[in-house]
Chain A
């Protein structure tokens, strides 16, 4: 299994859609074959269409607000007395998280395909909020599928979704979280694929959805590469790009432009959700060695039992609370281009406390997992090492959880 250079990772799959011969694919019911094929053709056409690219760039700049800033966390760096810690504040993007890139592109594709309805899944509520925003912006009718447990714990985002005029379909089956929301969203698409476009909220699902999402979030990395070169003249000798990984859309977007660079120079570190310290449950299929399985139309490392039943997961972060992971991250793991680890709920919360104590930054619980790893390794590294964390979401949505866990704060 080998990575190719100069070809975007999203395009390094075989004719059946597998990365490294075994991750990804399209395990879908017959009914979805045609809509998936149509979407695949349309996307192949659009990404080569200069007008479409121009349109995308226009909305990325004027609607999403690119570029998001790249800053040094001076106080945190001084406090930890090790590597320099920098952050890309992707949460500045319109709506407060990276999910807006994928949502905007899907809305544009939906328009191009002449469909009037768009549906999507959501865990933390960001994918849903962004899709509802993009749907409103482009005049599409929107339904968001969300686990009942997540609806409760991510209320601020639910309010936003409804305010944007989208309908939230609560999902009561299974663990009532993201995994069930994705299943239900796919079921709805099976029944309505003639007039409805489906947006998968991360780099997961059948091959084409991995590609579209990765193609969208790559914007983060394009900006970062430019910003790094501007700040340091060239890419420094020792860089560590740390990103949380649920489905893996922000991590892929954060890393994609750096994958070709030697890993000794730019190390890619993915941080999964380790769940509560004392719980056996987690949402870390890569770093806790889950077996390969098929979930939501793709083969990837999946938390499951030996009978192939998908396991329940547990994490304080709804956005990372997913038993599967993107096939491209499985590929990056097996080719050893990226390293994956996990942070527990407690570590993420402590990281959140430390960050908010020292910096004017309010990262949501998802990137707090990435910050936890940065805080862990920074003191052991010298000041010429540049750690960059993708602060991919804002903690407004976590208001209730943070209040409950940390008590009343500023």
Chain B
């Protein structure tokens, strides 16, 4: 998609010779107001903000993100609240791409078309739907493209060669490479060389796609993967929110510090 905010962001980070930093937080964690504050603050250091729809049966998420999601749901977050968080955020940071991430049942219940409309109105730049793989997502992803919303395809270490080609062909501006066989927040059990090797395979098929790596990325591991176009950190951030609540400390400040540190490791 020409001139998409996501594409522009990667162009800029490439100019700065660094990977883009993508953060993932759960909308409404731990409250609607607080999660917006967190977003506003961490986006000073993050290049793209992924915002999760909390779901109570998240089959691909590990403990940290589950905890965040349950907390948000317990505090009453609704789908429309998620959109209003994005809208508010975009009012202040209009150039910061926002990617919504969730499970298909939320979209299904909301209605696909209505959901995409609402994304457009709230200025959402991209969508990741964890349990809606290719080719089942083909029609939906085309619908997104028509409305200039990036549907982000996922690729994993188990993705076969033929499938890889097809997925890349059907992808938009950004592809998400899952670093290892794991739910989110697992310990990185594959060497960074191995991950980058798989990453290069995707890049070699089509250099114009922005490929980000996620799962298992923390302050400790982020530097070793800095060759990638972008790196996603989620569970490490959610964990900080949990810890700050436990210690009754300033959540926004602590989480921002984590993101700042991550950014410093890859600048």
Contacts and interface: CB of A to CB of B under 8 A. Distances in A.
Contact of A30 (B62, B104, B159, B186): B159
A183 interface: yes
Contacts of A191: 181-183, 186
A361 interface: no
A31 B57 contact: no
Interface in B204-253: none
A47 interface: no
B79 A307 contact: yes
A28 B133 contact: yes
Interface in A173-201: 173-174, 179-180, 183, 186-187, 190-194
B193 interface: no
B158 A294 contact: no
Contacts of A193: 158, 181
A295 B182 CA distance: 20
B140 interface: no
B136 A183 contact: no
Contacts of A295: 57, 105
Nearest to A294: B105
Size category of the binding interface on chain B? 35 or more
B181 A29 contact: no
A111 interface: no
A383 interface: no
Interface in A146-189: 173-174, 179-180, 183, 186-187
A75 interface: no
Interface in A7-31: 16, 25-31
A174 B57 CA distance: 8
Contact of A308 (B66, B110, B157, B159): B110
B57 A296 contact: yes
Contacts of B195: none
A291 interface: yes
Interface string A260-293: 0000000000000000000000000000000111
Size category of the binding interface on chain A? 35 or more
Contacts of A310: 56-57
A308 B108 CA distance: 8
Interface string B133-161: 11010000000000000000011111110
A306 B105 CA distance: 10
Contacts, number: 109
Contact of A25 (B56, B79, B136, B163): B136
B131 A297 contact: yes
Interface in B24-78: 55-62, 66, 70, 73, 78
B109 A29 contact: no
Contact of B56 (A32, A34, A174, A186): A174
B159 A33 contact: yes
B104 A190 contact: no
Given A30-B178, A31-B178, A33-B133, A308 B155 contact: no
A31 B158 contact: yes
B196 interface: no
A186 B158 contact: no
Contact of B109 (A25, A31, A293): A293
Interface in B88-132: 103-106, 108-110, 130-132
Contacts of B73: 309
A27 B132 contact: yes
Contact of A291 (B109, B134, B155): B109
Contacts of A294: 103-105, 108, 131
A194 B163 CA distance: 18
Contacts of B136: 16, 25-27
Given A29-B131, A173-B70, A309-B73, A34 B182 contact: no
A297 B59 contact: yes
B158 A33 contact: yes
**Which of B56, B155, B159, B181: most chain A CB closer than 10 A?**
B56
A186 B109 contact: no
A362 interface: no
Contacts of A122: none
Nearest to A312: B56
A35 interface: yes
Contacts of A249: none
Contacts of B133: 26, 28-30, 33
Contacts of A186: 59
Nearest to B58: A183
Contact of B59 (A34, A187, A309): A187
**Which of B58, B70, B155, B181: most chain A CB closer than 10 A?**
B181
B46 to A, nearest CB: 24
Given A33-B159, A308-B106, A194 B181 contact: yes
Nearest to B56: A309
A251 to B, nearest CB: 23
A183 B57 contact: yes
Give the 8 A-B residue pairs with the shortest CB-CB distance, closest first.
A308-B109, A34-B158, A31-B156, A294-B105, A308-B105, A30-B154, A29-B60, A27-B131
14 contacts: A29-B154, A31-B181, A33-B159, A33-B163, A34-B158, A34-B159, A34-B160, A34-B163, A173-B66, A187-B62, A187-B183, A192-B181, A294-B105, A308-B55
Interface of A: 16, 25-35, 173-174, 179-180, 183, 186-187, 190-194, 291-297, 299, 304, 306-310
